[in-house]
Amino acid sequence: MKENLIHYRTCVCNINYHMVWSVKYRYLQKLVQEIAEDKGFTVHLFECGEGDHVHCFVSAPPKLSITAIMKYLKGISGRKLFERFPEIRNQLWKGELWNHSYYVEMVGSVSEENIRRYIEHQSKAY
């Protein structure tokens, strides 16, 4: 992938992450892509897995911390979903779309192809 090339002379690179967080509502893929485009990172894969969480394969420039990326994805998506579907707030525990936890793994020790296969397989249960 061209965007993953590291240019040592100019110190420009992208960092790949495998991210997992719980989801309480599934109308997200288009919204997540819009958030990523607006905030300057790329979502390569996005799947809902095992009934209650999301798997996301993301590339981001080093200037974006993983905390900022998660804040954008959870915060903006939650706000926009509640604006569009206000009735879902009553169906959620404590009226919150996302719980506070997430898991992130920097891709490097596992090949990108293995991460892609794993994430794509998450949607097979549905």
Q: Is 118 a catalytic residue?
A: yes
Pairwise CA distance, residues 12 & 15, whole Å:
10
Runs of H (alpha helix) within the chain: 29-39, 66-71, 77-84, 112-122
In the set 8, 27, 118, 126, the catalytic residue is 118
Pairwise CA distance, residues 62 & 58, whole Å:
12
* Token pair for 61: 């420039």
56 CB-near residues (< 8 Å, 6+ apart): 18, 19, 20, 32, 43, 45, 46, 47, 73, 119
Bridge-based pairing state of the strands 42-49 and 53-60:
antiparallel
Q: Which residues does the annotation mark as catalytic? A: 118
